[in-house]
Each structure stands twice: as C-alpha cells, then as structure tokens.
Amino acid sequence: MSKPNPNYKGSAWDKFTRWAKGTYDPADGKLESTPPKDRLSPGERAERMLREYDQSRFEEGVAKEIGAFQIISRIFFVLMALFMVVVLLYTVSFLPAFGDPNSPVNNEVSQRYIEQGLEETGAMNIVAGMILDYRAFDTFGESCVLFVALCCVTILLRADKKDELRMRAREERETLEYEPQEDNILQQAARILVPLIIIFGIYVVLNGHISPGGGFSGGAIIGTGLILHLTAFGIKRTRRFMNERVIKTLTVCALTFYCFAKSYSFYTGANGLESIITTGTPGAILSAGLIVYLNICVGIVVACTMYSFYILFRRGAI
C-alpha cells in the first residue's frame, strides 16, 4: 500500500478538488469589503425625502417656465414673420406692373449716378462713388456687420484662457498639428509673395475711386497675404505685428473715423452748408473727397475680419 504524498495537501490539485466539492473559495479573504453605511434615522429619512420632493417640484417648475417661454417665443416669431410678409407685400403692391407703358424706362436714381456722379463725387469709378458717397451710410452698416460678426465668432470660438494647463497642452498639440515645421519651400515662396500681395492690396484700396477695386476687394487681398504669412511662418511670428490688440485698435479706429467723417458730410449736405472737403481733380489719388479715406477704413476692417475668421476657426485664439 502506497504512502500518502505529504505535499498533496495545499497543492493546486487539492484546491481544485475542494473547490469542485464546494468546500474551498479561492477569493475568501482576498476581496476588499466596504463597511455598511450608517442607517438614517426616521427623521433624517423624512427630511431627505422632503428635500428630494422640493428639488423635483423646483425642476418641474423650471421645465414648465422654459416650455411656456418657448411657446411664447415661437408664437412671437411667427407673428413677426407674418408682419414682415404683409409689409413687404404691401410695399410691392406700389411697384408698377410688369409691361406698364407708363412706367419709367430707366431708373432715375441710377441715371443720376451715371450722368452726374463724376461731377458730384469726383470719382472716376461710378461704383465707388455710389457706395462711398451716395450710399455711404449703407456701406458703414455693412462694415459694422463685419465687426459684429467678428465679435460673435470670437465669443463662440475663443479659447478659455482661465485654464492655463489646458491652454498650454492645447498650444503644444496645435504646434505639432497646425504650425509649419520649417517648410523651406513654403517660407521662401512666402517671403517673396506676401509683400507683393499686401502691396497689391494697398494699391487696389488707394485706387478704388479711379479704377475697379476699393476697400472690399483690396482688404480681401491684404487678408489673403496675412493668412499666407501665418501659414508659412506660424502664429508666433505673425503675432509680432498682427495680434489681438492690433486688430481691435485698427478695426475700432477705422469704424470710428468712418462714422465721424460721413456724419460731417451728411450734416453739411443736409443743411446746405459749404464743406471743407472738396472733390479735387478727377483721376488724381487725392481726389473724390472722402472716398479714398473711406476705402482705407473699409479695407482695414475687411482685412482684419478675414484674418481673424481664419485664425479663430483654426485654433480658437487670435
């Protein structure tokens, strides 16, 4: 008869056998257990239930208020839309019918722009004389719309500077993902093209009252040059001359000058007063009254807006 193995007890086979019989638990004494929470007294339990009830009632009240506000706002918007439709249809009813023989052949306003625009504005470019003299107030509104759009995009996409660690990690990640990694071909080409693009944009702005061009097209060209510089050399080098403070200062100063300059022009013209601003010699750079200066203001606003939109959508900070 064989002797029992002294190493059998406590071996893996012994543990497996006892586990199969249900007399051994491998996890016994190895799992952490959490002590039971203290039971609440009946008063504390009632107080907690009351707080939960008040919280639920408050949330229901807020939900009802929000729902009522949404219903009222939707009704208000529908009424406003119907009101605008009625006003526009009422205005259209005063237009001459199509094919009416008594309607004027040409628009009297456009005829005045063409026939007397050069004499009254001094601008060789009829379009520049129209949008920056006859309808300068509308152009000022369009420039303000660009500024308001820039403010809205800045508010929506601006990175949170309060969280310094997150901002630092984000900048490091964006440096690897978006910043140029010393692309010699792109940088050498940008060194040649960026000055030419910006000079051409300035030329288009300054000659907007003489030839086709002006603040909108010239500002778009200048903004393209700034974007190319940013793409080639990165945000750090571009911020040396085009940062958030510079953009705010240029935009606000341009809109302020535009407002005061045309306010003076409108005031003197409406009251029949002689203005110190003359039309000058048609065809000269310093001619057409305020048009050349207003073109500069519009070009600044357009260039800053284009550049800011690009960089905000690109990294969330100017």
The 10s digit of each residue's pLDDT in 266-280 is 888 888 788 888 888
* Amino acid 282: pLDDT: 83
Please report the DSSP string for the chain in residue order: -PPPPTT-TTSHHHHHHHHHHTS--TTTTTS--PPPPPPPPHHHHHHHHHHHHHHHHHHHHHHHHHHHHHHHHHHHHHHHHHHHHHHHHHHHTTSPPTT-TTS-SS-HHHHHHHHHHHHHH--SSHHHHIIIIITHHHHHHHHHHHHHHHHHHHHHH---SS-HHHHHHHHHHHHHHTS----HHHHHHHHHHHHHHHHHHHHHHHTTTTSS--HHHHHHHHHHHHHHHHHHH-HHHHTTTS-HHHHHHHHHHHHHHHHHHHHHHHHHHHTTPPPS----STTSSS-TTTHHHHHHHHHHHHHHHHHHHHHHHHHS--
pTM > 0.75: yes or no? no
Express each pLDDT in 197-233 by its tens digit. 999 999 999 998 898 888 999 999 999 999 999 888 8
Counting as low any pLDDT under 70, the low residues of the chain are: 1-10, 22, 25, 27-46, 50, 53-54, 57-58, 61-62, 104-107, 158-181, 315-318
* Amino acid 114: pLDDT: 84
The percent of residues in the chain predicted with pLDDT above 90, rounded, is 26
